[in-house]
Amino acid sequence: MVLKNGQRPWWERYQPISYRLVTRSGNEDQFKEMTRRCNAVGIRIYVDIVMNHMTGDVDPAVGTGGSTGNAKLRDYPAVPFNSSHFHAPCAISNFDDQVQVRNCELVGLHDLNHSHPYVRDKITTLLNHLIDLGVAGFRLDADKHMWPNEVKMMMESMKPLNTKYGFAPNTKPFVYQEVIDLGENNI
């Protein structure tokens, strides 16, 4: 999405259209070089990862790296995901209802159905690719909007950190989870 001033909005980073590592911050080769240089001096990289959802109904659906899709049909060919990989469309109206919070769309963003092994595999493939590129761990965006057992399965499918970047053998990635809690909800 491009704003009237020609800029892309900050929140676009939280509405993926693909899992390609091509953003306005750089491409995959530049990311790998950054992790190499940072790890060489003891600076660890943690990726802010969006695993809960893809975009909302944006038209045209064109990512910063050129990936396209038909968001209204929940069709993201660069992953690929299609409508069968998402929960049925519904809005969260009760944040105390764990089924709504975990199976409905957060602010209209198309909610991935992690009960499908295919969806979990696509996400863990991305996580493992980032580990290969030298990351030390992940911040899971919108974590309370996913079922804990499904998140656990994805976390258990991650490989150990890449020893080429100075990590000890068999070191697991550090994972921290974004859970917005103002003391008002049961989840």
CA dihedral of 164, 166, 167, 173, whole degrees rounded to 10: -80
Q: Please count the helices (runs of H) and the strands (runs of E) in the chain.
A: 4, 7
Q: CB count, 10 Å around CB of 79? A: 22
Residue 32 lies in a domain: no
At 71-113, the pLDDT tens digits run: 999 999 999 999 999 999 999 999 999 999 999 999 999 999 9
Tokens of 32: 């790998």
Q: How confident is the model at residue 5 (pLDDT cuts 50, 70, 90)?
A: confident
Q: Specify if 156 maps to a domain.
A: yes
pLDDT at residue 3, as a whole number: 58
Based on its alpha-carbon atoms, the radius of gyration of the chain, rounded to whole angstroms, reads: 17
Please indicate whether residue 178 is annotated as part of the active site. Answer: yes
Residue 154 has φ and ψ, to the nearest 5°, of -70, -40
CATH number of the domain enclosing 102: 3.20.20.80
Residue 24 has what pLDDT?
Answer: 86
Report the number of distinct structural domains present in the chain. Answer: 1
**Residue 75 falls inside a structural domain:** yes
pLDDT above 70 covers what percent of the chain?
A: 94
Active-site hit among 59, 178, 181, 184: 178
Is the Cβ–Cβ distance between 53 and 105 less than 8 Å?
yes
- The answer to whether residue 47 sits within a structural domain is yes
Does a structural domain hold residue 22?
A: no
Q: Is residue 35 part of a domain?
A: no
Looking at 28, 57, 141, 143, which residue is catalytic? 141
Q: Which domain holds residue 124?
A: 41-177
The pLDDT, as a whole number, for residue 182 is: 67
